[in-house]
């Protein structure tokens, strides 16, 4: 694998997180990963959700998911053995299994319990660098799909990440729970990972026929300003059909409005370099 940042840097690690369920975390992770892969970036997607939706969305059947991130986190399997190629060009996957739900309890009694994922990713990069001689070991982006909770799995993802991408669904309760998420991010930043930043907030499932969607989008921009990506992801039936075919929407129908939006979003995510912007209080 060849890292194509071209600046000798490490891969950028993003956690896609929001403890609210069904807001578009997995769809966003899988489709920005696919769009990055399409422009030649090497992407490692880590499924940290026991539901395994990202693994399904990338075509990996439940019986094909061992070894998984669960085995890696509890120390039963070297990370390299858990990495799979996918049918998506340049996108590699460490899948999740249901047992990952139990890892929350198992990790609580383990050494460096909040750093298991960070140690895993850093160890992997170091070993790939040694083997390939490539900076970053040939990986450009690591994308972590988080579960809908703020448990030890999400804390591991936040402790491992450079930035958090937060999908917010354009619905009435969009901002509900956001302050709790921001508090968790700030707590992780002040205790476990001083480098953590909010990479960006992405508005999802926007329905242009619904006034409420526009009101929510305006409201979110008013509160969160330039942290909000300019690309808005529309509600689009092709996006919801794709996972049952085991392929990302971008491969299922690259011309649909949802896919086009994810290509734009991925470009925004890739363009944004780390800067000194501060987290909202």
Ligand X SMILES: Nc1ncnc2c1ncn2[C@@H]1O[C@H](COP(=O)(O)OP(=O)(O)OP(=O)(O)O)[C@@H](O)[C@H]1O
- Footprint of ligand X on this chain (CB under 6 A)? 21-27, 49, 51, 53, 148, 204-205, 233, 235-236, 239-240, 243, 258
Q: Which is nearer to ligand X, 23 or 263 (CB)?
A: 23
Query: Is the separation of the CB atoms in 257 and 236 below 8 Å?
Result: yes
Q: Please, which residues bridge with residue 62 across strands? A: none
Binding of residue 53 to Mg ion (CB under 5 A):
yes
| Residue 22 binds which of Mg ion, ligand X, none (CB < 5-8 A, kind-dependent) | ligand X
CA atoms within 13 A on the CB side of 51: 12
Q: Which is nearer to ligand X, 37 or 52 (CB)?
A: 52
Instruction: Tell me which DSSP letter residue 279 carries.
Output: P
Q: Which is nearer to Mg ion, 44 or 125 (CB)?
A: 44
Q: How far is the CB of 141 from ligand X (least distance, A)?
A: 18
Contact segment (CB under 5 A) with Mg ion among 45-53, 66-74, 162-170, 220-228 equals 45-53
**Binding footprint of Mg ion, residue count (CB under 5 A):** 3
Q: Which is nearer to ligand X, 51 or 134 (CB)?
A: 51
Cβ neighbours around 226 below 10 Å, total: 10
Q: Which is nearer to Mg ion, 96 or 178 (CB)?
A: 96
Q: How far is the CB of 48 from Mg ion (least distance, A)?
A: 10
Measured distance CA(226)–CA(208) in Å, rounded: 22
Q: How far is the CB of 236 from ligand X (least distance, A)?
A: 5
| Residue 24 binds which of ligand X, Mg ion, none (CB < 5-8 A, kind-dependent) | ligand X
Burial of 108 (0-12, 13-18, 19+ CB in 10 A): exposed
**CA separation (Å) from 125 to 12, 74, 118, 225?**
11, 19, 11, 34
Measured distance CA(119)–CA(112) in Å, rounded: 9
Cis geometry, peptide bond prior to residue 67 (ω within 30 degrees of 0): yes
- Which residue is listed with tokens 């209080």? 281
Q: Which is nearer to ligand X, 43 or 153 (CB)?
A: 153
Which of 12, 20, 25, 227 is close enough to bind Mg ion by CB under 5 A?
A: 25
In sequence order, the 6+-apart residues with CB closer than 8 A to the CB of 122 are: none
Q: Please, which residues bridge with residue 46 across strands? A: 94, 144
Binding of residue 114 to Mg ion (CB under 5 A):
no
| Residue 75 binds which of ligand X, Mg ion, none (CB < 5-8 A, kind-dependent) | none
Strands (E), 84-174: 84-85, 91-94, 141-145, 163-169
| Residue 236 binds which of Mg ion, ligand X, none (CB < 5-8 A, kind-dependent) | ligand X
Binding of residue 20 to Mg ion (CB under 5 A):
no
Measured distance CA(202)–CA(128) in Å, rounded: 32
Using CB under 5 A as the binding rule, the residues of this chain from 67 to 106 that contact Mg ion are none
| Residue 243 binds which of ligand X, Mg ion, none (CB < 5-8 A, kind-dependent) | ligand X
Contact residues for Mg ion, defined by CB under 5 A: 25-26, 53
């Amino acid at each position: 694998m060849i890292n194509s940042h071209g600046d000798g840097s490490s891969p950028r690690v993003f956690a896609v997180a929001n403890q609210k369920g069904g807001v578009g975390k997995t769809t966003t992770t899988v489709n920005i990963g696919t769009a990055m892969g399409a422009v030649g970036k090497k992407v490692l997607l880590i499924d940290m959700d026991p539901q395994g939706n990202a693994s399904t969305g990338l075509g990996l059947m439940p019986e094909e998911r061992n070894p998984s991130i669960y085995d890696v986190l509890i120390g039963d399997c070297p990370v390299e053995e858990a990495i799979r190629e996918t049918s998506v060009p340049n996108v590699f996957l460490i899948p999740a299994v249901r047992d990952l739900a139990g890892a929350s309890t198992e990790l609580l009694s383990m050494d460096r319990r909040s750093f298991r994922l960070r140690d895993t990713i850093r160890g992997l990069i170091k070993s790939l660098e040694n083997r390939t001689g490539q900076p970053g070991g040939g990986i450009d982006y690591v994308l972590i799909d988080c579960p809908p909770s703020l448990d030890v799995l999400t804390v591991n993802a936040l402790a491992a990440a450079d930035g958090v991408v937060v999908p917010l669904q354009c619905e009435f309760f969009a901002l509900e729970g956001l302050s709790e998420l921001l508090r968790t991010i700030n707590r992780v930043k002040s205790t476990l990972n001083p480098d953590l930043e909010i990479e960006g907030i992405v508005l999802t499932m926007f329905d242009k026929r619904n006034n409420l969607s526009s009101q929510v989008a305006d409201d979110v921009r008013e509160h969160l300003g330039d942290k909000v990506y300019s690309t808005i992801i529309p509600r689009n039936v092709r996006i919801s059909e794709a996972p049952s075919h085991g392929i990302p929407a971008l491969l299922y129908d690259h011309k649909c409005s949802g896919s086009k939006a994810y290509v734009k979003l991925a470009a925004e995510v890739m363009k944004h370099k780390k800067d000194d912007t501060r987290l909202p209080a």
